Structure 1
Amino acid sequence: MSVIPGRPQMVPEEFEELARLAPRAVEGIRLEFLGGRLVVQPRPDGNHGRVVEWLVRRCLHVRPEQFLHSHGLKVQALRDGRAHPDGVLAPSEAFAGLGAWAEAEEVLMVFEVTDDDADADHRARVEKPRAYAEAGIPVYLLIDRDSAEAVVHSRPGGVRYETVRTFAFGKSVRLPDPVGIVLDTEPLKNWVR
């Protein structure tokens, strides 16, 4: 197949079928489809999982009517992208009865935790904020273990978030509405690289 620059190499429906079959062939991988490109999410390390656990516990404690889901989302302007955030804060029943990839209407926040993979880190810092903003997701939280910072993106304005605030680990971070959770990021110092 010849590749046409600037054009997707597959359509979202083809990607969804591939993503459905891939975990059966190779255990532990997650596929994403961003900017018309197929990308493979690396297998996270133990500290990555510990950061996710910390955030799940904090969100459930403060917002028990919500849940941090691990669900695929349709993202980007025309919803042609497919992303698998590390967590999706939404009402507990938001994805009941839906397939593997859901629209982002009920999503309050997505979050990502950086990994050892340079490509994945680039996506988390550059491509995903744009994709999440285009989908209208109110808050994107990036836990950057390389720089020991929490980066809060809010006020999606089409192709980007209008507000981006960076906090060093150890600071108190207020996630803006509609999330409305205050995070004490001191524990994150234990899981940096």
Structure 2
Amino acid sequence: MTLMDHDIAEDVMRGKPDHDLLRFLDKIPELDELKIELIDGKIVMQASAAPLHNLIVTKLAIQFDANDWVALPEQALISERSGFEPKPDLTITTADEVADNRNPFPADRTPLVIEVVSSDRTSDYIKKRLWYAISKIPQYLLIDPYDGICTLHSRPQGADYRVLEMHEFGEPIKLAEPFSFALDTTKFRLYPPKLLP
């Protein structure tokens, strides 16, 4: 499906709930290279992530796969909390939970979501964290390659997590149940400093 000249934005958006608009945008081939999310009632579009970001995501996915977990990259999530449909860098779940191929994927089927900070730090640190907690996702791992810090959030209560554990790159991250292993972060790399013009 492509946008025709007569499909101006106003016509597309008029009367469509946020989630319907997201479904529409997901079907436009010209937008395939963008990560499109619904965050706090707003459609957010981001260019594809940089190589160091993607390397961290890949290294994590391999570790979960080796421990018989399913790691879904950029899987759209939904819950009863409206105004959000994030696509975490990784959604961790089981093969049984994905058997019905439901999309967007229910947040209550995942014990852990992972975000690797890219350009929009506010979204990862505040807005998504709030939604993940309200949606009762048991663990949220936030990896920040700007600072070299991994923060594991656990025990959601209300609009936040009760427990935060910080680890520097290179230190293992011991995940809470139902996981029985620690994540290896020794190959995570910091983003290079941005050069000023």
Shorter-chain TM-score tier = 0.7 to 0.9
Number of equivalences: 178
Correspondence for 1:17: 23
Letter in 2 for 1:74: I
Which residue identity lines up with residue 44 of structure 1 in the other structure?
A
- For residues 106-185 of structure 1, the aligned pairs below 5 Å read 106-115=109-118, 117=119, 120-185=120-185
Q: CA deviation at 1:142?
A: 0.9
One-letter code of the match for 1:73? Answer: L
1:81 counterpart SS class: coil
State the match for 1:192 in structure 2.
191
User: What TM-score, normalized by structure 1, do the two folds share?
Assistant: 0.83
Q: List per-residue Cα deviations over 1:44-83 (Å, max 9, x = no partner).
A: 011111101110111122x21x2101221014x5244101
Provide the identity percentage.
21
Q: Which has more strand, going by share of residues?
A: 1
> For each residue in 1:153-193, what CA deviation from the matched residue of structure 2 results, as whole angstroms up to 9, or x when unmatched?
100112111111111112121111223331232211x3533
Q: In structure 1, give the amino acid aligned to 2:24.
A: L
Aligned partners of 1:186, 1:139: CA distance in 2, in Å? Answer: 21
Structure 1 residues 50, 149: closer, same or farther in 2, change over 3 A?
same
User: Which letter does structure 2 place at the counterpart of 1:17?
Assistant: R
Per-residue CA deviation, residues 4-34 of structure 1 (Å, 9 max, x unaligned), is xxxxx96233233233224x12231121112
Query: Contact 2:42–2:83 (CA<8 Å) still a contact in 1?
Result: no
Unaligned 5+ segments in structure 1 are: 2-8
Q: Structure 2: any 5+ residue segments left out of the alignment?
A: 1-8, 10-14, 193-197
Larger Rg: 2
Q: CA RMSD in A?
A: 2.1
Is the contact between residue 138 and residue 178 of structure 1 (CA under 8 Å) also seen in structure 2?
Answer: no
Partner of 1:73: 77
